[in-house]
Amino acid sequence: MTMATAAEPANALPRGYSLNEYRIESVLGAGGFGMTYLATDANLNLQVALKEYLPGEFALRNPDNSVQPLEGEAGESFQWGLQRFLDEARTLASFHHPNIVRVMRFFEANCTGYMVMEFVNGKPLTDWITARRPLSRQPLLRIIEPLLDGLEVIHNAGYLHRDIKPANIYVRGDGSPVLLDFGSARHLTSGDQEMTAIVTPGYAPLEQYHSHGKQGPWSDIYSFGGVLYWMVTGTKPPEAVARAHEDVMVPAVRAGFAGVHGPELLMAIDWALKPREAERPQSIDEFRRALAGEPPAAAFERTLSEPVVPRTIASPTQAPSRQSGAVFDAALLKWLETELAKHIGPIATVVVKSAAKKAVSVDALCRAVATEIGDEKERDAFTKRFAGAEKSGRLTGPAPESVTRDESISRKFSDKTLQQAETSLAQYIGAIAKLVVKRAAAKARDEAELYLLIADEIKDVNERKTFVRKAVQASRKR
């Protein structure tokens, strides 16, 4: 673990400050709910990671370094969070697993709580993997499997990690991985989730973006799937809110290297990253078996039906090959996806895009995607409906989305709702907020989803979380 070199937060405890037997050396990290320091245990002459509960939204630092809760509801939220911080530290301290960072002690001081954790001397996964890409299946599993074992221990105790990402995974000098930062862990039976909403774009599932999301082991599995997607493709998945209405993620079975990682592993990653929580693996054991290529559960069958497109590793000087498919009108492709989805579901988007890369005409494209429709009569009707689109030069189906978009928006959202959304968002991105809200309103099914979609334009993670929380609270009052 490398020490922070950037400027330390203004509200951090100063270097050299003594807290019981611990001496503060530097800040390792800071988040919305606290600060993590590198500290030295003066009694044992041992370096430790010291987590301090300091939610900036509910408290501030006094000149004497004590923590002062704000007045009113913020103060109540601070006390509630402090008690839960200590309760969770007590539980986490009971976990003993070689691939989970160890909580050694917890205590109260400075009117807040502290958690003393093992300081892991190693490299973050982001640095470790750079010189080793692409990892073949077995080296990848040697990193994955111990982490899953550790995460299963947490889940069996009724807790969720809720912030799994490459930065929270370290690889020790002996090559063993360890999962860090359980300061954001939450017990499944805890009540209010809103105060502890944890969102890391690309790795957090949609249910963690709002207070009533149904969180469970499948939520951590989504985040873990995001890490695996990043490991095999080199890029993180799109943010969950961008996938809420239409899944824009390129599946791992297409973005990864089937010959290097194996199709079973790639399909398991896509299963873990399903936007809807009910369609993902529901337990670590289920996910582990999918990674091993064992017979899948019923929920996995749709993922298995997605075509695995082999991908080769090109040399740095090799130009990407160009496929010989024709160029199709975007409106036609969208209509084709919409109609095909009525027969085969959300996978229609993948089927159409894949077929469009190879087809040389509209008729050939329609015939290719129609083969996915099982019923012969429905397949024939589908093909006839699109027949002649190429010759007429126009769509024979519904008008393009742009023609009916304004009418659709007005049915779903009042002018007042849209104006409030524009005004709120404009504080972060300026005049372009009007266009962003209009586009999002065409996709969103309700007000909560509207705010989740437009929040994606706010670059700062903490500001984005604050925006979504306040917006959702305001929408409930209306």
- Asked if the model's pLDDT at residue 392 lies above 60, the reply is no
Average pLDDT over residues 149-170: 92
pTM over 0.85, yes/no: no
Tell me if 445 sits within 8 A of 245, measured CB to CB.
yes
CATH architecture of the domain formed by 18-118: 2-Layer Sandwich (3.30)
Tens digits of residue pLDDT in 438-456:
877 877 777 777 887 788 7
- Asked if the model's pLDDT at residue 390 lies above 70, the reply is no
pLDDT given for residue 57 in this prediction: 87
Least confident range of 91-105, 107-121, 188-202, 366-380: 188-202
199: helix, strand or coil: coil
**Alpha helix positions (H), 358-460:** 362-370, 376-386, 389-392, 401-412, 415-429, 433-443, 447-455
pLDDT given for residue 153 in this prediction: 92
Average pLDDT over residues 452-477: 72
Tens digits of residue pLDDT in 256-312:
877 788 888 999 999 999 999 999 999 999 999 999 877 554 445 444 444 444 444
Tell me if 27 sits within 8 A of 21, measured CB to CB.
no
- Asked if the model's pLDDT at residue 316 lies above 60, the reply is no
Question: In Å, what is the CA distance from 300 to each residue of 237, 296, 297?
Answer: 19, 6, 5
Evaluate the omega torsion of the peptide bond into residue 124 and state whether it is cis, within 30 degrees of 0. no
Q: What percentage of the chain carries pLDDT values higher than 90? A: 35
Tell me if 85 sits within 8 A of 115, measured CB to CB.
yes
Query: What CATH number was assigned to the domain covering residues 122-304?
Result: 1.10.510.10
Least confident range of 324-333, 360-369, 401-410: 401-410
Least confident range of 99-103, 118-122, 297-301, 427-431: 297-301
Tell me if 422 sits within 8 A of 390, measured CB to CB.
no
Residue 447: left if φ>0, alpha if ψ -120 to 50, beta else—which one? alpha
